[in-house]
């Protein structure tokens, strides 16, 4: 067996190992944060659960940290009290980014982790099967029920060779994206093997696993080996280590190989992470802002390297350089070694230990500004500035470029910088508030400030559905397009009526107002609808406004599951050309929806042109019954679970 098959077999709760068929996995650990946790915890409560049933579940506060008003303070108070009530760990603001902290303190080889965040995949760096999902799926898993997904194909990525000086794990991630594109990983798990892995530390593997989601993959996984043991030893938790690898004769659905020796510094250019070029091709391009951090590249190794590059030098006056360490552990190690002082002396601004700039929470660039970042997504508007141009590259490229104020190939800097890791990282878990024992939770009241609005309820699907085409969109629509990032909108994650006013606002600001009054609505799109984040608000809030079906060529996995969970039909064109005959304002009708079944093909009638066309419902029976009920919460209510 390959490594993924071994972990799936050990966690299989439902279904069989038939490719494409749905399986149910037991989930050992879960994570949510302060952008997704509000809904997940409200849903956990609405599902009637009173105590988590996983080995460990955590709430992190890392996304929604800018106190722009009372809203996110309300959210944090809600999350902290819900953690106490239901038995979760609560990671206080200032502790760090969920994925960096999971890696440092909690990830365990061979365990399953379900996280309400797409970059949960980072845990794959230590042999954890770590998958991102919508908050409702995570709520169900917290209650001890399986997580369902179609049995993935396993793609082997055979690594050989060794990275040349100044070439980094980020360049590996970008090379993979360049080869697979933002949809080449769909329905797949990427499993890394090969003799070259001994040359990649856990930190480097984490960068690669993190960005695997950008290929549309379900996740990525590395074997747990001596490098993993070394990482755990330095984190003071060698007892969590166990060796894990694929069998020698393991079989895979697809195989590709990558020789690390051949790589050179790479950069993703606007506006997609798979739009990859060589850094040398862009050398000389003036940048306004450089932002170093995010769950992709904010480790001790990354930031110590940046500090070593900047030490004793000054950045040019036109440039804004911001640095956001990934965890409190990283920040205090930088401080202890004087690296923080070196960064400050060079002219860098030290940001809060959090996601921050990565999803537009502060540091929005100027109009048409050029921003070079070490994060993982450069979708339009992601930085908070619609017209900004975002480039993604390694911390090394970012730091050397910061010295010049223009994009620079880091190989021009000089001899390579070698960072030695502390024998034992500073271990201080004081900002993790541990769970309250079950017998002490009865008196705990969950705090609900005015920003915490009740969950909306949705009607079951009727037998016929007639409505208007509200938007016709292109390929690779991101969840940032559906629900934009940025501090002001993020503060409304627990308030569906308010956040709904921003749906599709970067693409068509008239959509929310139109959808509210039009009655049932349809959105038409191309390939890979809903790529990117796990935010279920990109399904829940449109459903609240009246969106009833998305007709697309194909869907990103998490988004499709979220649409189902909130009762929106994800319909796939059987003939992609049909999409070009549909225009905004036309009326469509679907009939005989009571007969829907897994794999049904439906005829949609375009009432405006009179032309029928066909779409497919590529769902399991379980999902069909959820959509018919009006979503998972409505189904649970119908079955008297709540
Ligand atoms: C992201 O990187 O886009 C986020 C913000 O972390 C999201 C989570 C969210 O928007 O709720 C993700 O990746 O899932
Ligand atoms: Fe946070 Fe950015 Fe990572 Fe998302 S991608 S978890 S916003 S740091």
**pLDDT surpasses 70 at 93:** yes
Distance (angstroms) between ligand 1 centre and the Cα of 37 equals 11
Domain end, chosen from 198, 227, 262, is at 262
Is 0.95 topped by the overall pTM? yes
**Residue span of the structural domain in which 67 resides:** 3-262
Ligand 1 pocket member 119 (CB < 6 A):
yes
Sign of CA dihedral 524, 527, 533, 534: positive
**pLDDT surpasses 70 at 491:** yes
Same domain, 340 and 207: no
The chain-wide mean pLDDT, for the chain, equals 97
| Number of domains the chain contains | 3
Give dist(CA 509, CA 515) in Å, integer. 11
Ligand 2 pocket member 352 (CB < 6 A):
no
Same domain, 160 and 87: yes
Nearest atom in ligand 1 to 483's CA? 10
38 domain residue, yes or no: yes
Ligand 1 pocket member 548 (CB < 6 A):
no
Same domain, 73 and 181: yes
Same domain, 377 and 509: no
**pLDDT surpasses 70 at 642:** no
Same domain, 247 and 280: no
At 61, which CATH number?
3.30.499.10
Summarize pLDDT for 15-54 with one digit per residue, the tens: 999 988 999 999 999 999 999 999 999 999 999 999 999 9
Same domain, 389 and 476: no
**pLDDT surpasses 70 at 171:** yes
436 domain residue, yes or no: no
pLDDT for res 19: 85
420 domain residue, yes or no: no
Distance (angstroms) between ligand 1 centre and the Cα of 394 equals 20
Give dist(CA 156, CA 2) in Å, integer. 9
417 domain residue, yes or no: no
Summarize pLDDT for 349-389 with one digit per residue, the tens: 999 999 999 999 999 999 999 999 999 999 999 999 999 99
Mean pLDDT to the nearest integer, 582-587 = 98
What is the best residue among 298, 356, 375, 378 to mutate for testing ligand 2's pocket, by most ligand atoms within 8 Å of CB? 375
Which region, left, alpha or beta, applies to residue 313 given φ > 0 means left and ψ of -120 to 50 means alpha?
beta
Percentage of the chain lying above the pLDDT 70 cut: 100
Ligand 1 pocket member 535 (CB < 6 A):
yes
Same domain, 628 and 515: yes
252 domain residue, yes or no: yes
Same domain, 288 and 408: yes
pLDDT for res 434: 98
Distance (angstroms) between ligand 2 centre and the Cα of 277 equals 23
Same domain, 215 and 307: no
Same domain, 237 and 271: no
Distance (angstroms) between ligand 1 centre and the Cα of 257 equals 30
432 domain residue, yes or no: no
419 domain residue, yes or no: no
Summarize pLDDT for 215-255 with one digit per residue, the tens: 999 999 999 999 999 999 999 999 999 999 999 999 999 99
Domain end, chosen from 349, 382, 412, is at 412
* Chain length of the chain: 642
Per-residue three-class SS string for 122-186: HHHHHCCEEEECCHHHHHHHHCCCCEEEECCEEEEEEEECCCCCCCCHHHHHHHHHHHHCCCCCC
Ligand 2 pocket member 102 (CB < 6 A):
no
Q: What angle do the packed helices 328-336 and 300-310 form, to 10 degrees?
A: 40
Nearest atom in ligand 1 to 36's CA? 11
**pLDDT surpasses 60 at 322:** yes
pLDDT for res 536: 98
At 577, which CATH number?
3.20.19.10
Same domain, 248 and 276: no
User: Where does 491-579 have alpha helices with state H?
Assistant: 496-499, 511-518, 537-545, 557-565
Ligand 1 pocket member 533 (CB < 6 A):
yes
Q: Grade residue 403 by pLDDT with cuts at 50, 70 and 90.
A: very high
Distance (angstroms) between ligand 1 centre and the Cα of 63 equals 8
Same domain, 171 and 207: yes
Nearest atom in ligand 2 to 358's CA? 2
Distance (angstroms) between ligand 1 centre and the Cα of 533 equals 4
Domain end, chosen from 342, 377, 412, is at 412
Q: Grade residue 639 by pLDDT with cuts at 50, 70 and 90.
A: confident
370 domain residue, yes or no: yes
Summarize pLDDT for 420-443 with one digit per residue, the tens: 999 999 999 999 999 999 999 999
């Amino acid at each position: 067996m390959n490594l993924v098959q071994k972990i799936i077999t050990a966690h299989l709760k439902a279904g069989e190992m038939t490719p494409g068929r749905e399986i149910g996995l037991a989930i050992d650990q879960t994570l949510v944060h302060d952008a997704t946790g509000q809904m997940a915890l409200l849903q956990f409560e609405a599902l009637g659960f009173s105590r988590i049933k996983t080995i460990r579940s955590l709430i992190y506060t890392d996304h929604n940290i800018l106190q722009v008003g009372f809203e996110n303070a309300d959210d944090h108070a809600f999350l902290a009290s819900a953690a106490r009530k239901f038995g979760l760990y609560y990671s206080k603001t200032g502790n760090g980014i969920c994925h960096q902290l999971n890696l440092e303190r909690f990830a365990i080889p061979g365990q399953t982790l379900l996280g309400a965040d797409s970059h949960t995949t980072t845990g794959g760096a230590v042999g954890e099967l770590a998958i991102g999902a919508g908050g409702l799926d995570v709520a169900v898993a917290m209650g001890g029920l399986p997580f369902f997904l179609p049995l993935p194909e396993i793609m082997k990525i055979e690594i050989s060779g060794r990275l040349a000086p100044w070439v980094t794990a980020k360049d590996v991630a970008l090379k993979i994206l360049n080869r697979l594109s933002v949809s080449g990983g769909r329905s797949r798990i990427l499993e890394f093997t090969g003799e070259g892995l001994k040359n990649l530390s856990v930190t480097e593997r984490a960068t690669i696993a993190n960005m695997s989601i950008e290929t549309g993959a379900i996740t990525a996984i590395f074997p747990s080996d001596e490098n993993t043991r070394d990482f755990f030893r330095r984190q003071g938790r060698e007892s969590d280590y166990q060796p894990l690898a694929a069998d020698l004769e393991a079989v895979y659905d697809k195989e590709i190989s990558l020789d690390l020796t051949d790589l050179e510094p790479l950069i993703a250019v606007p506006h997609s992470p798979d739009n990859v070029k060589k850094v040398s091709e862009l050398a000389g391009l003036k940048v306004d802002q450089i932002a170093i951090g995010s769950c992709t590249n904010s480790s001790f190794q990354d930031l110590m390297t940046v500090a070593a590059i900047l030490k004793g030098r000054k950045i040019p006056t036109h440039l804004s350089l911001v640095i956001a360490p990934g965890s409190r552990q990283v920040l205090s190690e930088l401080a202890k070694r004087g690296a923080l002082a070196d960064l400050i002396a060079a002219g860098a601004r030290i940001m809060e230990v959090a996601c921050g700039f990565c999803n537009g929470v502060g540091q929005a660039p100027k109009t048409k500004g050029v921003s070079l970042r070490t994060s993982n997504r450069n979708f339009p508007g992601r930085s908070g500035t619609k017209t900004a141009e975002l480039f993604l590259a390694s911390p090394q490229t970012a730091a050397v470029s910061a010295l010049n104020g223009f994009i620079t190939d880091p190989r021009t800097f000089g001899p390579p910088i070698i960072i030695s890791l502390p024998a034992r990282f500073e271990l201080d878990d004081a900002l993790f508030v541990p769970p309250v024992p079950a017998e002490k939770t009865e008196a705990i009241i969950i705090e609900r400030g005015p920003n915490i609005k009740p969950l909306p309820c949705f009607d079951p699907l009727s037998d016929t559905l007639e409505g208007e085409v509200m938007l016709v969109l292109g390929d690779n629509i991101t969840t940032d397009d559906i629900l934009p990032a940025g501090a002001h909108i993020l503060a409304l994650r627990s308030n569906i009526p308010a956040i709904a006013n921003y749906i599709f606002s970067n693409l068509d600001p008239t959509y929310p107002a139109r959808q509210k009054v039009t009655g049932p609505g349809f959105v038409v799109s191309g390939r890979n609808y809903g790529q990117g984040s796990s935010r279920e608000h990109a399904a829940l809030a449109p459903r609240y406004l009246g969106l009833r079906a998305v007709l697309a060529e194909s869907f990103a996995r998490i988004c499709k599951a979220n649409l189902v969970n909130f009762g929106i039909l994800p319909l796939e064109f059987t003939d992609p050309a049909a999409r070009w005959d549909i225009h905004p304002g036309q009326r469509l009708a679907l009939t005989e929806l009571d007969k829907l079944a897994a794999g049904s093909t439906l005829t949609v009638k375009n009432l405006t042109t009179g032309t029928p066309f066909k779409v497919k419902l590529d769902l399991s029976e379980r999902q069909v019954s959820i959509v018919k009920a009006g979503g998972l919460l409505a189904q649970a209510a119908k079955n008297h679970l709540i």
